[in-house]
Amino acid sequence: MTPRRFLFLVANAREPGHLGNTEWLARQAAAALPPDVPQRWLALSALDLPPFVDRRHTVGEYPLPQGDLRTVFDAMREASDIVLVAPVYWFSFPTSLKTLMDHWSAWIRIPSVPFKSEMAGKTFRLVSTSGDRAKAQPMVDSERLCAEFFGAAWGGVLWGKGGAPKAVEADIAAQEAARGFLALT
């Protein structure tokens, strides 16, 4: 059995140093993992993620990513479980995560790397918060469809009631769900 390695891709628009509701909830879930299971946390807002340029219909192929994009690329390839940690912004992903996801279109077109088939062996999950669960559904559906596109396992969503700072800390149901969300089975 392949050893489990969790990658948490944290996307938010908070000022540096401010722990948001979504990351707080994700950290509650991660705390339930056994101590010998590696965890890597990447704050996407702290990385230099350039805009994606769609060259599928002109050049067709893409080179290996460079800089911070390469960091995320390598981390995704090394992980067994990829957890997107993203609050709802306008019914969708924060900009940093959407930018990264757009780059996946390039990564599946790198001739020397079977990125799509590598993703098929992983489990994708989403941790999110918003003022209303229904407002998170478009984002949940989008991530589930991404996992399906890759042929990856969909590990589901952990949602908590967010909004104002620390609001999720009052969501007892979300905290209880967090304890088993990343369960190793």
Instruction: Look at residue 185 in the predicted model and tell me its pLDDT.
Output: 62
Chain position carrying tokens 């800390």: 169
Non-local (6+) Cβ contacts of 130 within 8 A are 87, 88, 136, 159, 161, 162, 163
Q: In whole angstroms, what is the distance from residue 104 CA to residue 87 CA? A: 20
Nearest residue to 185 via CA among 39, 77, 81, 84: 81
Evaluate whether residue 11 is within a structural domain: yes
Domain count across the chain: 1
Q: Quick check: 45 and 22 in contact, CB under 8 A?
A: no
Evaluate whether residue 68 is within a structural domain: yes
Chain position carrying tokens 């990829």: 82
73-129 confidence digits (pLDDT tens):
999 999 999 999 999 998 899 999 999 999 999 999 999 999 999 999 999 999 999
Evaluate whether residue 104 is within a structural domain: yes
Range of the domain at 58: 6-181
Q: Quick check: 128 and 139 in contact, CB under 8 A?
A: yes
Evaluate whether residue 33 is within a structural domain: yes
Tell me the percentage of the chain whose pLDDT exceeds 90.
Answer: 85
* Residue 135 pLDDT grade (very low, low, confident, very high; cuts 50, 70, 90): very high
Evaluate whether residue 73 is within a structural domain: yes
Evaluate whether residue 1 is within a structural domain: no
* CATH number of 17's domain: 3.40.50.360
25-37 confidence digits (pLDDT tens):
999 999 999 999 9
pLDDT at 39 over 80: yes
pLDDT at 1 over 70: no
pLDDT at 14 over 80: no
Evaluate whether residue 121 is within a structural domain: yes
| Summary mean pLDDT of the chain | 94
Chain position carrying tokens 């700072």: 165
Evaluate whether residue 97 is within a structural domain: yes
